[in-house]
Structure 1
Amino acid sequence: MTLDRIRIGFLPLVDAALPILARERGFAAAHGIEIELVRDLSWATVRDRLLYGHTDAAHMIAPLAIATALGRGRPAAEIAVPFVLGLNGNAITFSIPLAQETLEGERLGDPRAVGERLRQVAIARAAAGKPLRFGVVHRYSSHNYMLRYWLAAVGVRPDHDVEIVTISPPFAADALAAGEIDGICVGEPWNSVAVDRGVGRIALVTAQIWRRGVEKVLAMRGDTARQSPELVRRLIRALHEAAAHFVEPEAAEENARILAQPAYLGAPEDAILRAITDRVRLMEDTPPLHVSDFMFQFREAANFPWRSQAAWLYSQMTRWDGTAFSADEAARAEAVFRPDLYRAALAGSAAVLPGASSKLEGAIADSIGAGSVQGRLMLGADRFFDGRAFDPDRIEDYLASLP
């Protein structure tokens, strides 16, 4: 059988697992697809390869897909996101000197308590003309927005009390070791690499900031989605099957071995295995702790592209770019996420398909049932640490309420 080839760009991160495993575990081939993976080291390069036709799809940070569609930093280009590759999976890691000033005990701290201690250090450092510097993976990244959301909520003013700079994930531990930055917010396995090298300590995981924060997505050009609908549906089905496989406990060790290969993550197998089994080592030479929902996949329709997730990311983009809210831009941002393509691909399968395309974000305290057009949908707690909820129909009011 002749396979249809799809080139997918990715960065060496654990949450690139689904396209990698779809290729390596045969899910793509079963749907008549040969996935060719193109490894890069920066999100800007992943985006540019996609836009200029060097790849057909990409493992991409969700806000970058929206920024690209809105023309933030470059000419606007139509982008479609038919599948979410994962929720959460990031951490905020402090340098050892900063950790010694701000962190206590051997467990994850409370975001407010850690934030208050960090605020005191940040203000003192800024007053001395030596502000703390944090590294994130891209200006338009969930890492940047999660870090800023937390800092602002605990009284630390991003870009005033602290500096935030961009760094490629595989170099984050090197930057900590060199003393160039005081903290990082990156995806796995690069926080764990920093910890295992003895140059960092994990302060918080981003699931503590937003329990169900959207992270990486499958992005493609709008013309690809329009011109090759049947191929896109097959790709979504292959990724969905890879996601179901990814959460099987007995598959974890072999999946970690696959992901650790130089062609993919080129990182220690043990660090990858810890991430995909929700175990986090906070400090060098300490046993890993189980962190519930650290890296969230598959369950609760986790791969469904909720338009309300895109709307929240747009709210943060507006907030931190210092631009005025635009109802037209908000609609365009939400339209990047394509639940219609997800439903079309998985109709008639065993997949759970939400009936709505948008919901209140951060409003669920305990598991509840939700409407579905296929299967039984249960949604778990998705709270923001500060107790706020986000209504995608009231973005202006939400922005006005933020510190």
Structure 2
Amino acid sequence: MTTEFKTPQSKTSPIAGLHRRDVLRVGAGAAATLLAARTLAPSGVFAQGAGPETTKATLGYIALTDSAPLIVAKEKGFFAKHGMTDVTVTKQASWGTTRDNLVLGSEGNGIDGAHILSPMPYLISAGKVTQQNIPLPMYILARLNYDAQGISVGMAYKDLKPTVDATPLKQIFLKMKAEGKQAKVAMTFPGGTHDLWIRYWLAAAGIDPDKDVETIVVPPPQMVANMKVGTMDAFCVGEPWPGQLVSQGIGFTACNTSEIWQNHPEKSFAMRAAYVDKNPNAAKALLMAVQEAQMFCEDMANKEELAAIVGTRAYFNVPVKDIVGRLKGHYDYGDGRIVENSPGVMKFWRDHASYPFQSHDTWFLTEDIRWGKFAPDTDVKAMVAKVNREDIWKDAAKALGVKEADIPTSTSRGVEKFFDGKTFDPANPAAYLDSLEIKRVA
């Protein structure tokens, strides 16, 4: 069951005063970078050279905490600082809406780029999820964050105590299946990150996500309301919705997705390839603004302000208290577990969170092969080389004044380790697939 929404592309009003502040509270690591960037004012890297080809761009976002860099870049004036004075950041009702508006492009009253699930630019570029399977070339320009998605479970299962280990749910889910009333688990887009996390979590416990439960699609902002009325038994989505679920006493967090894979890649900043190819300077300026915003979002001193910015009616329309706790690393799981200074806190910049490692996209594509979204003979290496534009990220970072030590020298982060003992070597994806018991590929 796929839920699609069509919403008007309304302009988002700036939050009065926020983007006119000249003083940014930044941590020591980011301060040096921003000091270098300030020397480029008034219009960033283009003050002394050729400016952007256009000052316009329309960017989409979903009401999720990891969209914050795009919102902050708008509200703190970073887009304007880098010469992009007419950027609209507009809310999308679902990932299906994001896809449809990317296909339209801003010239068709759609969008030029977006905060997006990292596998989606590949699914869109390959025409796997577009109308009539028509490919729309996309580029990933940056990763927006690591970690901090949540797998949530309804209160009816609290006594079973499922955590990152979903095994306690296996027998009851199989019993429900035998009785003809399969448990429903929700994610936000087929083949997207939330789909992959909840599938990995279930499969690691011996629960087949395609056969033992019913997997449904629900837009992120509707997750809490749907669990409240009993539409689903478990779901995976990003903050602030898992935290809000706990604050309302409707369900609990079984695990932070960082417990599945520590420092895992999550959302990306992606744009239509046509926009980037036509306006390379503008795309670079947008990226620099997003990178600067990520530094702002990373600083613990800015978390209260960040939560206040995104929580407004214009953006999330969510109480700050439902956002700021987990943003600072305070995790009340809702089942008695409370973790302070969680290592699974959302990371926007540190640990190379912004750099789009090609090895990570290789994992996303390998998982989508695992679950039948791509054919087993897909040329993953070629696809990643075409969609992942880490070269543009590096150019933007250097222009922004990011230290060489903070710019990765390899497009691979190397072998990745998962909670269940599995490992993924990006140089040998086939070995990883062979090690998995539940999959749709031989």
- Same fold, TM exceeding 0.5? yes
Describe the superposition over 1:162-206 as per-residue Cα deviations: whole angstroms up to 9, x where unpaired.
111100111111111111100110111111111112111111110
- Partner of residue 371, structure 1: none
Aligned equivalents of 1:312 and 1:37: distance in 2?
Answer: 29
Aligned amino acid, residue 386 of structure 1: D
After superposition, the Cα gap between the structure-2 partners of 1:322 and 1:76, relative to the gap in structure 1 and judged at 3 Å, is: closer
User: What displacement does 1:49 show?
Assistant: 1.0
User: What displacement does 1:293 show?
Assistant: 3.0
User: What displacement does 1:330 show?
Assistant: 4.5
Question: Aligned match of 2:156 in 70, 74, 97?
Answer: 97
The answer to whether the Cα contact below 8 Å between 2:144 and 2:267 also exists between their aligned partners in 1 is yes
Aligned-residue Cα RMSD (Å) equals 2.0
Question: Aligned match of 1:78 in 112, 131, 137?
Answer: 137
Aligned equivalents of 1:294 and 1:157: distance in 2?
Answer: 29
The range that moved more, 124-133 or 91-100, is 124-133
- Aligned-pair identity in percent equals 29
Secondary structure, aligned partner of 1:257 = helix
- Partner of residue 309, structure 1: 360
User: What displacement does 1:101 show?
Assistant: 3.2
Question: Aligned match of 1:269 in 302, 307, 320?
Answer: 320
Matched, 1:356 2:410: yes
Aligned equivalents of 1:41 and 1:13: distance in 2?
Answer: 11
Aligned equivalents of 2:82 and 2:180: distance in 1?
Answer: 58
Aligned amino acid, residue 81 of structure 1: I
Question: Aligned match of 1:37 in 85, 89, 99?
Answer: 89
Unaligned runs of 5+ in 2: 1-41, 44-53, 438-442
- Partner of residue 145, structure 1: 196
Aligned equivalents of 1:285 and 1:209: distance in 2?
Answer: 20
Describe the superposition over 1:328-371 as per-residue Cα deviations: whole angstroms up to 9, x where unpaired.
24521453111111011122512421111123241xxxxxxxxx
Misfit runs of 4+, over 3 Å: 284-290
After superposition, the Cα gap between the structure-2 partners of 1:37 and 1:284, relative to the gap in structure 1 and judged at 3 Å, is: farther
User: What displacement does 1:323 show?
Assistant: 5.0
Aligned equivalents of 1:271 and 1:335: distance in 2?
Answer: 39
After superposition, the Cα gap between the structure-2 partners of 1:322 and 1:265, relative to the gap in structure 1 and judged at 3 Å, is: closer
TM-score, normalised by the number of residues in structure 1: 0.88
The answer to whether the Cα contact below 8 Å between 2:362 and 2:380 also exists between their aligned partners in 1 is no
- Partner of residue 370, structure 1: none
Describe the superposition over 1:35-72 as per-residue Cα deviations: whole angstroms up to 9, x where unpaired.
21111111011121122112121111111111111221
Aligned equivalents of 1:310 and 1:285: distance in 2?
Answer: 35
User: What displacement does 1:249 show?
Assistant: 1.6
- Partner of residue 401, structure 1: 435
User: What displacement does 1:26 show?
Assistant: 1.8
The range that moved more, 142-151 or 281-290, is 281-290
User: What displacement does 1:284 show?
Assistant: 8.2
Could you say which structure has the higher strand fraction? 1
Q: How does 1:327-342 map to 2 (within 5 A)?
A: 327-342=378-393
The answer to whether the Cα contact below 8 Å between 1:15 and 1:216 also exists between their aligned partners in 2 is yes
Q: How does 1:319-398 map to 2 (within 5 A)?
A: 319-321=370-372, 324-348=375-399, 349-351=401-403, 352-362=406-416, 383-398=417-432
Unaligned runs of 5+ in 1: 104-108, 363-382
TM-score, normalised by the number of residues in structure 2: 0.81
The answer to whether the Cα contact below 8 Å between 1:311 and 1:334 also exists between their aligned partners in 2 is no
**How many corresponding residue pairs?**
375
Secondary structure, aligned partner of 2:254 = strand
Aligned equivalents of 1:309 and 1:315: distance in 2?
Answer: 10
- Partner of residue 260, structure 1: 311
Describe the superposition over 1:231-275 as per-residue Cα deviations: whole angstroms up to 9, x where unpaired.
111111111111111121221111111110111111111111113
